[in-house]
Protein backbone atom coordinates (compact mmCIF):
# COMPACT_ATOMS: atom_id res chain seq x y z
CA UNK A 1 0.00 0.00 0.00
CA UNK A 2 1.95 3.05 -1.22
CA UNK A 3 1.38 6.42 0.45
CA UNK A 4 1.86 8.33 -2.78
CA UNK A 5 -0.56 6.25 -4.82
CA UNK A 6 -3.60 7.95 -6.39
CA UNK A 7 -5.40 4.59 -6.62
CA UNK A 8 -5.92 4.03 -2.92
CA UNK A 9 -9.36 2.74 -2.05
CA UNK A 10 -11.60 4.58 0.40
CA UNK A 11 -11.23 1.57 2.69
CA UNK A 12 -7.44 1.97 2.79
CA UNK A 13 -7.70 5.72 3.39
CA UNK A 14 -10.26 5.31 6.16
CA UNK A 15 -8.33 2.50 7.81
CA UNK A 16 -5.13 4.58 7.86
CA UNK A 17 -6.90 7.63 9.29
CA UNK A 18 -8.61 5.57 11.98
CA UNK A 19 -5.30 3.96 12.96
CA UNK A 20 -3.74 7.41 13.46
CA UNK A 21 -6.75 8.79 15.34
CA UNK A 22 -6.76 5.84 17.74
CA UNK A 23 -2.99 6.11 18.17
CA UNK A 24 -3.31 9.80 19.01
CA UNK A 25 -5.84 8.98 21.73
CA UNK A 26 -3.51 6.37 23.22
CA UNK A 27 -0.55 8.76 23.15
CA UNK A 28 -2.52 11.56 24.82
CA UNK A 29 -3.75 9.14 27.48
CA UNK A 30 -0.19 8.01 28.17
CA UNK A 31 -0.99 4.43 27.23
CA UNK A 32 2.00 4.23 24.88
CA UNK A 33 4.95 6.27 23.62
CA UNK A 34 6.86 6.40 20.37
CA UNK A 35 9.90 5.06 22.21
CA UNK A 36 8.03 1.83 22.97
CA UNK A 37 7.05 1.21 19.36
CA UNK A 38 8.76 -1.30 17.12
CA UNK A 39 10.38 -0.41 13.81
CA UNK A 40 7.41 -1.98 12.01
CA UNK A 41 4.93 0.12 13.98
CA UNK A 42 6.87 3.27 13.16
CA UNK A 43 6.93 2.33 9.49
CA UNK A 44 3.17 1.89 9.59
CA UNK A 45 2.76 5.31 11.16
CA UNK A 46 4.85 6.96 8.44
CA UNK A 47 2.85 5.20 5.73
CA UNK A 48 -0.50 6.17 7.26
CA UNK A 49 0.61 9.79 7.70
CA UNK A 50 1.51 9.90 4.00
CA UNK A 51 -1.90 8.50 3.03
CA UNK A 52 -3.78 10.98 5.18
CA UNK A 53 -1.73 13.93 3.94
CA UNK A 54 -2.29 12.79 0.35
CA UNK A 55 -6.06 12.76 0.89
CA UNK A 56 -5.94 16.12 2.67
CA UNK A 57 -3.86 17.59 -0.14
CA UNK A 58 -6.42 16.54 -2.75
CA UNK A 59 -8.73 19.21 -1.31
CA UNK A 60 -6.34 22.14 -1.82
CA UNK A 61 -7.08 22.75 -5.51
CA UNK A 62 -10.88 22.39 -5.22
CA UNK A 63 -10.77 24.68 -2.18
CA UNK A 64 -9.02 27.44 -4.14
CA UNK A 65 -11.54 26.98 -6.94
CA UNK A 66 -14.47 27.32 -4.54
CA UNK A 67 -12.91 30.42 -3.00
CA UNK A 68 -12.46 32.15 -6.35
CA UNK A 69 -15.96 31.23 -7.51
CA UNK A 70 -17.58 32.38 -4.26
CA UNK A 71 -15.94 35.79 -4.57
CA UNK A 72 -17.90 36.26 -7.79
CA UNK A 73 -21.19 35.77 -5.95
CA UNK A 74 -20.42 38.10 -3.04
CA UNK A 75 -18.87 40.88 -5.15
CA UNK A 76 -22.12 42.89 -5.51
CA UNK A 77 -22.44 43.08 -1.71
CA UNK A 78 -18.78 44.01 -1.31
CA UNK A 79 -19.46 47.05 -3.46
CA UNK A 80 -22.11 48.08 -0.90
CA UNK A 81 -20.13 47.41 2.28
CA UNK A 82 -16.53 46.39 1.62
CA UNK A 83 -15.59 46.79 5.30
CA UNK A 84 -17.81 43.83 6.25
CA UNK A 85 -17.78 41.50 3.25
CA UNK A 86 -14.93 39.00 3.07
CA UNK A 87 -14.17 35.52 1.75
CA UNK A 88 -11.64 33.27 3.45
CA UNK A 89 -10.61 29.65 3.15
CA UNK A 90 -8.94 27.03 5.30
CA UNK A 91 -7.68 23.51 4.83
CA UNK A 92 -8.31 21.56 8.03
CA UNK A 93 -5.09 20.89 9.92
CA UNK A 94 -3.75 17.34 10.19
CA UNK A 95 -4.14 17.34 13.97
CA UNK A 96 -7.67 18.76 13.76
CA UNK A 97 -8.70 15.96 11.42
CA UNK A 98 -7.43 13.36 13.88
CA UNK A 99 -9.12 15.16 16.77
CA UNK A 100 -12.47 15.11 14.96
CA UNK A 101 -12.09 11.42 14.11
CA UNK A 102 -11.31 10.80 17.77
CA UNK A 103 -14.49 12.60 18.87
CA UNK A 104 -16.59 10.67 16.35
CA UNK A 105 -15.39 7.03 16.42
CA UNK A 106 -17.77 5.94 13.65
CA UNK A 107 -16.79 8.73 11.25
CA UNK A 108 -14.87 7.82 8.10
CA UNK A 109 -12.30 10.24 6.70
CA UNK A 110 -13.57 9.97 3.13
CA UNK A 111 -17.02 11.04 4.33
CA UNK A 112 -15.75 14.05 6.26
CA UNK A 113 -17.32 17.06 4.57
CA UNK A 114 -15.28 19.96 5.96
CA UNK A 115 -11.64 19.14 5.23
CA UNK A 116 -11.74 22.08 2.86
CA UNK A 117 -13.82 25.06 3.95
CA UNK A 118 -14.57 28.49 2.53
CA UNK A 119 -16.47 31.21 4.41
CA UNK A 120 -18.16 34.40 3.28
CA UNK A 121 -19.12 37.19 5.68
CA UNK A 122 -22.03 39.24 4.34
CA UNK A 123 -23.63 42.50 5.52
CA UNK A 124 -27.18 41.19 6.05
CA UNK A 125 -29.13 37.96 6.30
CA UNK A 126 -30.89 38.92 3.07
CA UNK A 127 -27.50 39.02 1.33
CA UNK A 128 -26.51 35.62 2.76
CA UNK A 129 -29.85 34.15 1.64
CA UNK A 130 -29.37 35.57 -1.85
CA UNK A 131 -25.89 34.11 -2.24
CA UNK A 132 -27.13 30.77 -0.89
CA UNK A 133 -30.00 30.69 -3.38
CA UNK A 134 -27.69 31.37 -6.33
CA UNK A 135 -25.13 28.79 -5.20
CA UNK A 136 -27.82 26.12 -4.90
CA UNK A 137 -29.03 27.01 -8.37
CA UNK A 138 -25.64 27.01 -10.10
CA UNK A 139 -23.32 24.73 -8.07
CA UNK A 140 -23.46 21.04 -7.37
CA UNK A 141 -24.70 21.01 -3.75
CA UNK A 142 -24.88 17.69 -1.91
CA UNK A 143 -26.16 19.07 1.39
CA UNK A 144 -27.71 22.30 2.65
CA UNK A 145 -28.22 23.27 6.29
CA UNK A 146 -30.05 26.39 7.45
CA UNK A 147 -28.76 27.06 10.95
CA UNK A 148 -30.34 30.52 10.87
CA UNK A 149 -33.98 29.44 10.91
CA UNK A 150 -33.06 26.35 12.93
CA UNK A 151 -30.01 27.27 15.05
CA UNK A 152 -27.87 24.60 16.62
CA UNK A 153 -28.52 23.86 20.29
CA UNK A 154 -25.34 25.83 21.02
CA UNK A 155 -26.83 28.96 19.47
CA UNK A 156 -24.67 28.76 16.34
CA UNK A 157 -26.24 30.43 13.29
CA UNK A 158 -25.11 30.35 9.66
CA UNK A 159 -25.95 28.83 6.30
CA UNK A 160 -23.91 25.75 5.37
CA UNK A 161 -23.62 24.17 1.95
CA UNK A 162 -21.57 21.10 1.08
CA UNK A 163 -20.55 21.47 -2.55
CA UNK A 164 -18.74 19.14 -4.92
CA UNK A 165 -15.66 20.64 -6.55
CA UNK A 166 -13.38 18.51 -8.73
CA UNK A 167 -14.68 15.32 -7.15
CA UNK A 168 -14.28 16.25 -3.46
CA UNK A 169 -16.52 17.94 -0.91
CA UNK A 170 -15.96 21.52 0.22
CA UNK A 171 -17.93 23.19 2.98
CA UNK A 172 -19.26 26.69 2.28
CA UNK A 173 -20.31 28.82 5.26
CA UNK A 174 -22.32 32.01 4.81
CA UNK A 175 -22.49 34.24 7.87
CA UNK A 176 -23.51 37.77 8.75
CA UNK A 177 -21.07 39.94 10.66
CA UNK A 178 -22.77 39.30 14.02
CA UNK A 179 -23.09 35.55 13.39
CA UNK A 180 -19.37 35.47 12.66
CA UNK A 181 -18.59 37.58 15.72
CA UNK A 182 -20.53 35.16 17.93
CA UNK A 183 -18.80 32.06 16.51
CA UNK A 184 -15.34 33.65 16.78
CA UNK A 185 -16.01 34.70 20.37
CA UNK A 186 -16.85 31.12 21.36
CA UNK A 187 -13.62 29.96 19.70
CA UNK A 188 -11.60 32.69 21.43
CA UNK A 189 -13.07 31.77 24.81
CA UNK A 190 -12.22 28.12 24.13
CA UNK A 191 -8.60 28.94 23.30
CA UNK A 192 -8.12 31.43 26.13
CA UNK A 193 -9.64 29.21 28.82
CA UNK A 194 -8.49 25.92 27.25
CA UNK A 195 -12.00 24.49 27.41
CA UNK A 196 -13.59 23.33 24.16
CA UNK A 197 -16.86 25.24 24.47
CA UNK A 198 -17.26 25.03 20.69
CA UNK A 199 -17.73 21.25 20.99
CA UNK A 200 -20.19 21.53 23.87
CA UNK A 201 -17.75 21.01 26.72
CA UNK A 202 -17.53 23.19 29.80
CA UNK A 203 -20.05 24.59 32.27
CA UNK A 204 -23.74 24.73 31.31
CA UNK A 205 -24.19 28.39 32.45
CA UNK A 206 -21.64 29.42 29.82
CA UNK A 207 -23.56 27.66 27.05
CA UNK A 208 -26.84 29.21 28.25
CA UNK A 209 -25.18 32.63 28.02
CA UNK A 210 -23.94 31.91 24.50
CA UNK A 211 -27.47 30.94 23.43
CA UNK A 212 -28.92 34.19 24.78
CA UNK A 213 -26.23 36.26 23.06
CA UNK A 214 -26.98 34.49 19.78
CA UNK A 215 -30.67 35.34 20.20
CA UNK A 216 -29.82 38.97 20.98
CA UNK A 217 -27.68 39.29 17.85
CA UNK A 218 -30.48 37.77 15.76
CA UNK A 219 -32.88 40.37 17.17
CA UNK A 220 -30.45 43.17 16.36
CA UNK A 221 -30.15 42.00 12.76
CA UNK A 222 -33.94 41.82 12.45
CA UNK A 223 -34.33 45.26 14.10
CA UNK A 224 -36.38 43.70 16.92
CA UNK A 225 -36.29 45.36 20.33
CA UNK A 226 -35.64 42.78 23.08
CA UNK A 227 -38.36 42.51 25.70
CA UNK A 228 -37.71 43.41 29.31
CA UNK A 229 -38.06 39.73 30.22
CA UNK A 230 -35.42 38.80 27.67
CA UNK A 231 -33.03 41.48 28.95
CA UNK A 232 -33.52 40.27 32.51
CA UNK A 233 -32.83 36.67 31.51
CA UNK A 234 -29.73 37.72 29.55
CA UNK A 235 -28.40 39.63 32.56
CA UNK A 236 -29.05 36.63 34.80
CA UNK A 237 -27.23 34.30 32.44
CA UNK A 238 -24.35 36.77 32.16
CA UNK A 239 -23.92 36.77 35.93
CA UNK A 240 -24.05 32.98 36.15
CA UNK A 241 -21.48 32.60 33.34
CA UNK A 242 -19.05 35.22 34.61
CA UNK A 243 -17.36 33.03 37.27
CA UNK A 244 -16.43 30.57 34.52
CA UNK A 245 -15.48 33.06 31.82
CA UNK A 246 -14.01 35.74 34.09
CA UNK A 247 -12.72 38.83 32.30
CA UNK A 248 -13.32 37.23 28.90
CA UNK A 249 -17.04 38.02 29.20
CA UNK A 250 -16.45 41.70 29.82
CA UNK A 251 -14.88 42.19 26.41
CA UNK A 252 -17.11 39.80 24.52
CA UNK A 253 -20.14 41.93 23.69
CA UNK A 254 -19.93 44.57 20.95
- Exactly one of 31, 40, 150, 171 is catalytic; name it: 171
Pairwise CA distance, residues 52 & 57, whole Å: 8
Nearest 5°: the CA angle 81, 61, 65 is 35
Pairwise CA distance, residues 197 & 199, whole Å: 5
- CA 230 vs. chain centroid, Å, equals 29
Reduced to 3 states (helix: H, G, I; strand: E, B; else coil), residue 160 is strand
Reduced to 3 states (helix: H, G, I; strand: E, B; else coil), residue 122 is strand
Distances (CA, A) of 222 to 46, 175, 190, 199: 52, 14, 28, 28
Reduced to 3 states (helix: H, G, I; strand: E, B; else coil), residue 145 is strand
Polymer length in residues for the chain: 254
Written as one string, the DSSP assignment of 163-227 is: EEETTEEEEEEEEEHHHHHHHHHHHHHHHHHT--GGGT-S-HHHHHHHHHHHHHHHHHHTTPPPP
Cα separation of the two ends of the chain: 53
Answer yes or no: 113 catalytic: no
What positions carry a catalytic annotation?
A: 171
Amino acid sequence: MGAASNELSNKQINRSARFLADLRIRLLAGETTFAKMSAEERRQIIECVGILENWRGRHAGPLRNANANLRHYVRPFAAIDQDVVSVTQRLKKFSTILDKLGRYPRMQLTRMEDIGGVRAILPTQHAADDVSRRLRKNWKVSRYRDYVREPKVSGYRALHLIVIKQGVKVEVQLRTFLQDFWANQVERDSRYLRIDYKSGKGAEPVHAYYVSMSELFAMREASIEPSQDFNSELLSRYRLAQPYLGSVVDGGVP
